[in-house]
Structure 1
Amino acid sequence: MKKKSNVIVFFTDQQRFDTTGVHGNPLGLTPNFDRMAMEGTHIYNSFTCQPVCGPARSSLQTGKYATATGCYINGIPLRQDEKTLAHHFNEAGYHTGYIGKWHLAGQEPVLEHQRGGYQYWLGANVLEYSSDAYDTVMYDNDNKPVKLPGYRVDAQTDAAIRYIDQHKDEPFFLFLSYLEPHHQNHSDNYPAPRGYEERYSGSQFVPGDLASLGGTAHAHLGGYYGMVKRIDEALGRLMDSLISLGLEEDTIIMFTSDHGCHFKTRNSEYKRSCHDSSIRVPTAFTGGCFKSGGRVKELVSLVDLPPTLLDAAGIPVPDSMQGRSVLPLVRGEKEGWPEEVLVQISESQVGRAIRTQRWKYSVRATGVNDSKDAGADTYGEDFLYDLQSDPHELNNLIGVEAFNHIAAELRMRLIARMQEAGETAPTIKPAEVKLNSGARRVSISDLRKKL
């Protein structure tokens, strides 16, 4: 009887899509991810459904939007009655393990009933507070602190390799959740391994939005890139361990991140905005049915990844999941796939956005508590970007008369997607009309054209 495929989630925190070579970064930061994407399946247009740590993680564990899990802001524990990936893999006869940052519990260390059903546990609820770059402390199944030697990325990778070796003779599902390249909160910097920041500081590649808007990129990009480099080296080490243990052919790996990083260009911190710098993430699969899957160009949401993992492992996808498996896309079956992704935004605002191949449309609620309210009855239009002519989202077209018919069409599509996510249809107030300023007109047929 053929052994079930092992499944590994390689999960980073706050990683921009354009840190990778397959997305045009010329610095050679991610040769292992790039090879994984080229030899496996590259989800070229991959987006978070919530650019905040805890909410995004609740969606990745459950396949539901954050408003459905109830974890729509940081600090709300995942409900005990929510079925996670671990529960589904447990029921299918897998051994399940979690290593790293959780951010879905109410305290540190994480009590057993708040661990989402994972059998093996070596984690921290908020790893950026329990550890530092060279001071990694997590908690085991008995909630005892475990100090792991080495740079934090390496310490977690060592733990993951030990787990794989110990469970190589049974099917396992391992969720490996890194903090990098997230900033270190108490010092507000990006602590790369010693010597790595210097490699990438100075006159290196700066994405167009950061080059135009500034923010803290000039101070932090070297460290950030250094962290990405070490993360990719960890991916390579993990893959090497699978080869050496004879597990390469039997293991599916998914690489993704919870959200991106805009380096304080869009608000006073690093995420929580509708912009691609905040919501677009690197995602790829390798192994099993994902071998030679090519590049998937359709827009895929973080909420689609849990059903994809279950589907790839031959586990039935429950109706409760709001995302959908991407395996039909891998097989070339594109009919019926949504033409936009929905993004829910909290903490910096109560906002909603959709992203299509060409357009970004975002609305913001007024008269609500950004840190407490999950949604609103009324929103006002906030952003409209034409990503074909303005890929770095520098020219906000909302309210420009020549584009009001585009906004009207996207408004209806946003409301429909919110309803599909279980929200009540809101009222969205159009933006005040701005002067045309010679702006060109775009037709509805142009809007609907797939680029």
Structure 2
Amino acid sequence: MIVLTQSEKPNVIVFFTDQQRWDTTGVHGNPLGLTPNFDRMAQEGTHLYHTFTSQPVCGPARASLQSGQYATEIGCFRNAIPFPSGSKTLANHFKKGGYYTGYIGKWHLAAEEPVKEERRGGYEYWLASNSLEHTSDPYHTTVYDHNCQPVELPGYRVDALTDAAIRFIDGEKDKPFFLFLSYLEPHHQNRNDNYPAPTSYQEMYTSRWTPPDLASLGGLAHQQLGGYYGMVKRLDEALGRIMDALKSLKLEESTIILFTSDHGCHFKTRNSEYKRSCHESSIRIPTAITGPGFFQGGRKRELVSLVDLAPTLLDAAGLKVPEEMSGRSVLPLITRSNQSWQKEVFVQISESQVGRAIRTKKWKYSVSDPTKNGIDHSKSDHYIEEFLYDLELDPYELTNLIGYKSHQEVTRFLRERLLSKIEEVENEIPYIESAPLKESGQRKLIDEEIFQ
């Protein structure tokens, strides 16, 4: 760890979106030009090309990012479980390190509205709502200030929060600050199950491009993608405005920006909701970092988890990474000082099911317990194999290979790796029941494919 003086400390901004697929970005192949600012950030900074949530639902993912721990470790394994008052957040660590901390937007880690001071995770400046989708509409944004008083912010919701963030940055420009800017978009508006883009934006993107999984599986994509893409476009414009503000205040070279999301969106193709599944559409998220330590870091193809981002930010700010954090800083990937990196990411799934998954460079393997619901149970001692995908040949996961006779050896290999991760994180070794065998037709694996 490098210890920085107060004047050397970089400012840190987390630009956090909600329910954004990785393939909404140009650097991931989206052809619609939705994200020129994110794409530039990824190209000029560090692009974490393979980043995955540790839990594909709002509250648990946010708890993991704040704590650097998995959802079951911090205790927030599903929505509506408050962040434990005795546990440390990013705000606690940055404040201890000499930073002024601020939170703007959606919190989703408390059980009341407005959020009481003791439930704000230690953030000093506060302009937020626990459940922003329920306290606001696209053009009527209500958040709460430090004194729990409602504040009405004018404009489209993305712009309203961005305006507030720019005011914060301008007001705190003379001392190191840590700002967590948490948007609702491109999450659906719950009360009408719709993706409300700013005026005229939905029409720009309706029937333009549909990812292969959504084109094949149906769901609600044909109805909702135009609005979803319009929301993504406005978010990227907000990112550009934040970057412009930093440039005008001469903070561009001294500010770290992390762009990431809590989980993806499968538009009700994999279950009856928009997330809460093991599939790439649900767990893979767009992630890039720019600023001191990350300029010209390039594209990193190693597998990164959401739990790795908290220690990364602390490490980059010259602060000590707590031992209780399960994640690892990605800075060694950039400096190439350590070539040893994880070969898989581990995913816990709740609410829709009690599930566990592992994702390697080539394979996705997932299990669940159909006898337990994911609301009341955080884990199980008995899982059943559910999914196996070859991500090199089938990146949109349209062919489930679980049970194929041709894939029994790779299934055994992945089962052992998943059990090892469960033991490491949850201190238990459950039983995993094999899926029924299926004929494989012409399918066949060679040895070198198994261990990727």
TM range (shorter): over 0.9
Choose from 186, 194, 198 the match for 1:193.
198
**Where does residue 136 of structure 1 map in the other structure?**
141
> C-alpha displacement at 1:425, in angstroms?
1.1
1:66-87 deviations in Å (ceiling 9; x for gaps): 0001000000000001100000
Give, in whole Å, the separation in 1 of the partners of 2:276 and 2:172.
38
Answer whether contact 1:299 1:340 (CA < 8 A) is retained. yes
Choose from 4, 8, 12 the match for 2:9.
4
**Where does residue 211 of structure 1 map in the other structure?**
215
Give, in whole Å, the separation in 2 of the partners of 1:42 and 1:88.
25
> C-alpha displacement at 1:422, in angstroms?
2.9
Give, in whole Å, the separation in 1 of the partners of 2:30 and 2:371.
41
**Where does residue 422 of structure 2 map in the other structure?**
418
> C-alpha displacement at 1:434, in angstroms?
1.0
Choose from 113, 125, 131 the match for 1:126.
131
1:374 paired to 2:378: yes
Choose from 114, 117, 121 the match for 1:116.
121
Instruction: Map 1:38-53 onto structure 2 (within 5 A).
Output: 38-53=43-58
**Where does residue 70 of structure 1 map in the other structure?**
75
1:91 paired to 2:96: yes
Choose from 75, 87, 94 the match for 1:82.
87
**Where does residue 179 of structure 2 map in the other structure?**
174
Segments of 4+ moved more than 3 angstroms:
none
Give, in whole Å, the separation in 2 of the partners of 1:418 and 1:333.
28
Choose from 261, 265, 282 the match for 1:261.
265
Answer whether contact 1:267 1:273 (CA < 8 A) is retained. yes
> C-alpha displacement at 1:441, in angstroms?
2.7
1:101-127 deviations in Å (ceiling 9; x for gaps): 000001100010000000000000010
Give, in whole Å, the separation in 1 of the partners of 2:15 and 2:353.
29
**Where does residue 58 of structure 1 map in the other structure?**
63
Give, in whole Å, the separation in 2 of the partners of 1:97 and 1:257.
18
Letter in 1 for 2:340: G
- Secondary structure of the residue aligned to 2:148 is coil
> C-alpha displacement at 1:344, in angstroms?
0.2
> C-alpha displacement at 1:334, in angstroms?
4.9
**Where does residue 242 of structure 2 map in the other structure?**
238
Choose from 403, 406, 419 the match for 1:402.
406
> How many percent identity over aligned positions?
64
1:447 paired to 2:424: no
Choose from 382, 387, 390 the match for 1:383.
387
Give, in whole Å, the separation in 1 of the partners of 2:21 and 2:338.
26
> C-alpha displacement at 1:307, in angstroms?
0.1
Answer whether contact 1:406 1:442 (CA < 8 A) is retained. no
Give, in whole Å, the separation in 1 of the partners of 2:338 and 2:395.
25
1:270-328 deviations in Å (ceiling 9; x for gaps): 00000000000000000100000000110000000000000000000010000000000
Structure 1 stretch displaced more, 151-160 or 206-215: 206-215
Please, what is the CA RMSD of the aligned residues?
0.9
Letter in 1 for 2:178: F
1:346 paired to 2:360: no
Answer whether contact 2:103 2:127 (CA < 8 A) is retained. yes
- Secondary structure of the residue aligned to 1:175 is strand
Give, in whole Å, the separation in 1 of the partners of 2:227 and 2:446.
42
Letter in 1 for 2:117: E
Give, in whole Å, the separation in 2 of the partners of 1:281 and 1:423.
27
**Where does residue 359 of structure 2 map in the other structure?**
355
Give, in whole Å, the separation in 1 of the partners of 2:443 and 2:403.
12
Answer whether contact 1:359 1:385 (CA < 8 A) is retained. yes
Answer whether contact 1:403 1:442 (CA < 8 A) is retained. no
Give, in whole Å, the separation in 1 of the partners of 2:48 and 2:359.
15
Letter in 1 for 2:192: S
Letter in 2 for 1:276: E
1:224 paired to 2:228: yes
Give, in whole Å, the separation in 2 of the partners of 1:4 and 1:439.
55
Letter in 2 for 1:140: D
1:398-426 deviations in Å (ceiling 9; x for gaps): 00111011110000000111122134111
Letter in 1 for 2:449: D
Give, in whole Å, the separation in 2 of the partners of 1:441 and 1:305.
35
Q: Structure 1: give runs of 5+ residues left out of the alignment.
A: none
Choose from 303, 308, 320 the match for 2:312.
308
Choose from 137, 150, 153 the match for 1:148.
153
1:329 paired to 2:333: yes
